[in-house]
Amino acid sequence: MSLQLKTALVHYWLVNRRGGEAVLEAIGRLVPQAHLYSHVVDPDVLFGSLSEMPVHTTAISRLPGARQAYQAYLGLMPTALEALDMSDYELIISSEAGPAKWVIPAPGAKHICYCHSPMRYVWDQRFTYFEKLPALVRPLAHMAAQGLRQSDVLSSMRVDQFVANSSFVAQRIQQFYRRDAEVIHPPVDVETFSTETPEDFYLCAGEIRHYKRLDLAIEACERLGRRLIIAGSGNPKALKALAGSRVEFTGQVDNATLRTLMRRCRALLFPGVEDFGIVPIEVMASGRPVIAFGYGGVLDSVEAGVSGLFFSEQSVDALCGAILDFERNEQLLTMENCRSVAGRFSRAVFEEKFSAIIRETCGV
C-alpha cells in the first residue's frame, strides 16, 4: 500500500508473541513508516515489521517491575496513554485487548481501533478474573473496574472506525460502546500448512486454560474410548486427574511437531469459547475438520457440514454426540473442503480488507 500518512501504532503491551502481536505485525507491513507505542516492550519479542519501527513506551514502563507486573498498573494506563503526544500523527491505529485506544488524536487525525476484545477483566469476564483475588481485595477491584468501564466508553468516542476480529467481538463492541465495527479476521499463513493421511486420534491444542474446557474433551474421549492428544503449555494437574491411558499430554511442543499433530489428527476438539481462535483455522489449513462448541469466534471460521460441526451446549453428553455424528459423516468433511474454508483467512485477504479500511477512513 502506497499510503504515506504519519502513523502511530498503539498496542497494549509487547511482552509475548501471540495472536494480537501477529495481527499488529501484519498491520505494520501496511504502514512501515509508522512509529510503535506500547506501555511496556520486550525488545526480544519484536519481529517482522515491528522490529524496523521506532519504539516508544508510556510512563508505565518506568514504574517498578513494569516489565513483569505490568497488569498491576492497569488503572494507571489510561492516563499514561492520554499523556502521549500524538500531535504529529495523521493516522492512529490502536490494537486493543488491554488499554490502547485512550490516546488523544490531533484535530483532523483519524483513529482506527482493531479490537481483539473489549477488556475482558472489566467487562464480561470480570467475575472470572476477580475470583482469583483475595476476598478482601475484590470489592476494591470492582470499584476500580467501574471507573475503567466509564473511561473505556469515553475513549471509544475518540475512535473513528472500529475493526473487530470476529462477529462475536463486533457484537460486544456494539453492546458496550454502542458502536458498529467492521469485521476483519486475523491473518493466518494458511498456504504454509500441508496435509497428510490422518491417524486415529483427536487433538486439543493451545495454552491450557480453564475457559477452554479441556475437561469436556477428556471426559468425552474417555467415555467413548477414543484417543486424545492435548498439546500446549500450562498446568494440566487437575486435567490429568480426569484422564486415563487414552489421553496424552505433550506439554508445549515446537511448531513443526504441532503442525504434524494438526495434519495427522482425526479432528480438532474445540469445546471452549474464544473471541476468534487461530488454531481451528490452522487445523483446517492442514486438511482436518473441527468439532466445536457453537458459540464465539468459531462461528466465523468453521463452516458446519463442510469443514466441521458444532454442538450446542458445553457438556460431555453434547460433545460425545458430536463426535459420534462426526464419525458417521466423516467422509463429507474432506481435506479439500477444510483447506478451502481456511483459505478465506489468508494474509492476502487481511491486507486487502485492512488497506481498504485505512483508505476509506482517511478519505484517500
| Distance (Å, whole) CA 214 – CA 248 | 12
What confidence tens digit (pLDDT) does each residue in 46-59 have?
999 999 999 999 99
- Residue 1 in this model has a pLDDT that exceeds 70: no
Task: Fill in the DSSP letter of residue 295.
Answer: S
pTM, full prediction: 0.91
Phi, psi of 291, rounded to the nearest 5 degrees: -110, 110
- 213-237 pLDDT, tens digit each: 999 999 999 999 999 999 999 888 8
pLDDT at 49: 95
Q: Report how far residue 185's alpha carbon sits from residue 49's, in angstroms, rounded to the nearest whole number.
A: 19
Q: Quick one: how far is CA 11 from the chain centroid?
A: 14
In this predicted structure, what is the pLDDT of residue 165?
97
231-266 pLDDT tens trace: 999 888 899 999 999 999 999 999 999 999 999 999
Read off the pLDDT of each residue in 191-210 and give the average, rounded to a whole number.
95
CATH of domain 7-187+346-362: 3.40.50.2000
Does 2 score more than 70 pLDDT?
no
Residues pairing with 114 in the sheet: 95, 163
Arithmetic mean of pLDDT over the chain: 93
Residue 305: phi, psi to the nearest 5?
A: 80, -5
- pLDDT confidence of residue 3: 64
> How many residues are there in the chain?
364
Q: How confident is the model at residue 140 (pLDDT cuts 50, 70, 90)?
A: confident
pLDDT reported for residue 139: 74
pLDDT at 146: 80
The pLDDT value given to residue 161: 98
Rounded to whole angstroms, the Cα distance separating 74 from 354 reads 29
Give the per-residue pLDDT at 129: 64
Q: Which residue has the higher pLDDT, 137 or 276?
A: 276
pLDDT digits (tens, 9 = 90+) for 95-133: 999 899 999 999 999 999 999 999 887 777 676 766 777
Q: Once rounded to an integer, what is the mean pLDDT over residues 315-338?
A: 97
Give 137's DSSP letter.
T
Residue ranges covered by each domain of the chain: 7-187+346-362, 190-344
- Calculate what percentage of the chain has a pLDDT beyond 90: 84
**pLDDT at 138 (0 to 100):** 75
Query: Which of 117-121, 267-271, 293-297 has the weakest average pLDDT?
Result: 117-121
| Per-residue pLDDT at 143 exceeds 80 | no
**What single-letter DSSP state applies at residue 208?**
-
Quick: pLDDT tens for 47-93.
Answer: 999 999 999 999 999 999 998 899 889 889 999 999 999 999 999 99
The answer to whether domain 7-187+346-362 and domain 190-344 are alike in fold is: yes
CATH 3.30.43.10 fits 190-344, yes or no: no
pLDDT grade for 313, boundaries at 50, 70 and 90: very high
Query: Helices 214-224 and 316-328 sit at what angle, rounded to 10 degrees?
Result: 60
